[in-house]
Chains A and B, each alone.
Chain A
């Protein structure tokens, strides 16, 4: 009984923290993008615009909730929730410090990858349920893209797994105590670069945001959503993004490793995750979107073979280093 209560409390704390972080990540991105474009960004609400995310949330809460007359109501209403839940669930397996996390599963990384791919269900439901041609096209593109990019995404995420010899996320983190995997000769850098690229695609960020594609498909799968449902979709998207940034920091950047006392660990982890996030944002605000056929070509012709090769090379290195007879 107490286990259940503990888990509930831990889950609640993490969930609240995630929602808080995700809300403020939007402000971070807006400020960052603004500076890139020689603007100032949100500045009016609170000091330096610090209350802007709250104002946005309030505004979205008060907006009218529109359901298109011809929409498939059940699917349409359910989609934002189905979209949001995987985005939140992925935080369950992430250890924020040694022993600090909701559930440190022994197959943590597989759970993470499986759940984060579930996002596509909500996305497709939104696209289909809206009964809108833009949304439909976007949903089709989404399926295409997820199928093509989840494979290389998983393969690159497996490189640190091989290096650490464990599927448990906390083991992967501790395995980097000596050397962060991003500094592992050749393999580390290649895997990190491939990870960032596939992350962009898995998160539907520019230059791979063909499913949102507001210049051609207006807003893609969420074109018909308004008010709180739109907010939920947005929240799910950013939660997914932040979750993947945490994963990247964990897999390659040594998670909570950093100078200072042990209690600074989570802070370091957050900083690294934000670093990954800003890297993704930097790419987003400097590239143009690429076409659907080109995206598929990049995935199948380049990323998939490369990530497979990388995985095999890593396996070879691990076997050679640990010596014969293992």
Chain B
């Protein structure tokens, strides 16, 4: 470069220069594979472009090639942190279309595993979120290890029930595939009581900590209007003051039988989202106890055991089924043409919509807040990219 020109550039520096910084896809707090291209002015983010799709497996095309009995176990691979609820969304859509009855016991079992899954999933969220804020070499790692320890206990329950720890294949069209093994109910009660106590310890550790509050309060505010237009759901929209919970709005699997509270916060910031999830922990264990108390006897499936993969045939039509997963509305839109495979399957991932809110709220925050906000959104990239 011409020395004169260089001099002009150096002298004319006014401090308004922008820096483009690439975060991810390999980044410690990318929660999987997420790439954010940030435009910075100093430490402040002024623009953000989100790049997703690194984990794309085209689940929707896959759904068109697999039969109604084959797909549920694949469905758990969309949201792999909450596999139980994603399976349920697909199975419910098929049941709605085929008008298939589900026995009461199976419905209760579905609620049971769904709520246990919520506890396990929120454990992962709390741990990773604190790790985003506190670092893997700081207090965050401590919270993370505490949370993972408690999640292990839930996974042990699932292992005793299904044999798998992460991807279950528990649900099937017409009911569930497995019944509770002997002694499981007692272990489950003890686990839930134990985790309830531990939640209190986490709350003490975090909420009495001014640094935690300073990082979480007033950060990443999502307004009520934005929340609805983007279509975010689950704890996020409830933290923004919208009382929207599918378990209430459209009770499925006998959720109307249980008494639970839907927490709503109005602040819309990271702390509100944290509070909502902390209350949900307790509400979930409350529901689990109610299910265990009132578990009816009877069959666990309205259909006989599967002999061939093409056995379930669904009449022509279309249906949309949604369930309240730990991250929000997990929906499955099925178009059936009367064969053993769906004609079209649309998967509505809760994390996809939740993540879409990021470019709207992140500009204006500091770099350190980007990871805190992203952690509070709790994305699971299997579900974002599908």
Contacts and interface: CB of A to CB of B under 8 A. Distances in A.
A and B touch in the complex (CB under 8 A): yes
B142 interface: yes
Contacts of B382: none
Contacts of A284: 137-139
A39 interface: yes
Contacts of A133: 19, 21-22
Interface in B125-142: 130-142
B43 interface: yes
Contact of A137 (B27, B28, B133, B367): B367
B205 interface: yes
Given A288-B130, A292-B368, A213 B211 contact: no
B369 interface: yes
B228 to A, nearest CB: 29
Given A38-B145, A214-B28, A291 B369 contact: yes
Contacts of B141: 37, 285
A286 B368 contact: no
B145 A215 contact: no
A288 B134 CA distance: 4
A36 interface: yes
Contacts of A293: 43, 366
Contact of B134 (A33, A38, A141, A287): A287
A290 B19 contact: no
Tell me whether chain B's interface is mostly helix, strand or loop, or mixed.
Answer: helix
Nearest to B140: A288
Contacts of A287: 134, 138-139, 209, 211-212
Nearest to A217: B367
Interface string B203-225: 00100010110110000000000
Interface stretch (A174-182, A204-212, A258-266): A204-212
B370 interface: yes
A209 B135 contact: yes
Nearest to A286: B139
A31 interface: no
A3 interface: no
Interface in A15-54: 33, 36-39
B302 to A, nearest CB: 45
B227 to A, nearest CB: 24
B371 A215 contact: yes
B130 A291 contact: no
B211 A218 contact: no
B133 A288 contact: yes
Given A288-B209, A292-B43, A216 B138 contact: no
Contacts of B212: 287-288
A206 to B, nearest CB: 3
B142 A215 contact: no
B149 interface: yes
B45 to A, nearest CB: 11
Nearest to A284: B138
Contacts of B369: 291
B214 A214 contact: no
A155 B139 CA distance: 28
A6 B212 CA distance: 52
B132 A215 contact: yes
Interface residues of A, number: 31
Contact of A289 (B28, B135, B146, B149): B135
Interface string A250-282: 000000000000000000000000000000000
B135 A206 contact: yes
A322 interface: no
A35 to B, nearest CB: 11
Given A38-B149, A215-B29, A286 B370 contact: no
B371 A288 contact: no
Nearest to B130: A288
B133 A289 contact: yes
Contacts of A2: none
Contacts of A292: 43, 366, 368
A216 B209 contact: no
B142 A37 contact: yes
Interface in A283-303: 284-294
B293 to A, nearest CB: 32
A66 to B, nearest CB: 16
Contacts of B371: 215-216
Interface string B177-214: 00000000000000000000000000001000101101
Interface string A185-225: 00000000000000000000011011011111110000000
B138 A285 contact: yes
Given A209-B137, A215-B28, A216-B368, 17 more contacts: A37-B145, A206-B137, A207-B134, A207-B211, A209-B135, A210-B368, A212-B137, A213-B135, A214-B135, A214-B136, A215-B134, A215-B135, A287-B138, A289-B211, A289-B215, A291-B214, A293-B366
The 5 closest A-B pairs by CB, nearest first: A288-B134, A206-B138, A215-B29, A288-B133, A287-B139
Interface of B: 19, 21-22, 27-29, 40, 43, 130-142, 145-146, 149, 205, 209, 211-212, 214-215, 366-371
28 contacts: A33-B142, A37-B141, A37-B142, A37-B145, A133-B19, A133-B22, A137-B367, A207-B138, A212-B137, A213-B368, A214-B28, A215-B28, A215-B140, A215-B371, A216-B367, A218-B27, A218-B28, A285-B139, A286-B139, A287-B209, A287-B211, A288-B209, A288-B212, A289-B138, A290-B211, A290-B215, A291-B214, A291-B366
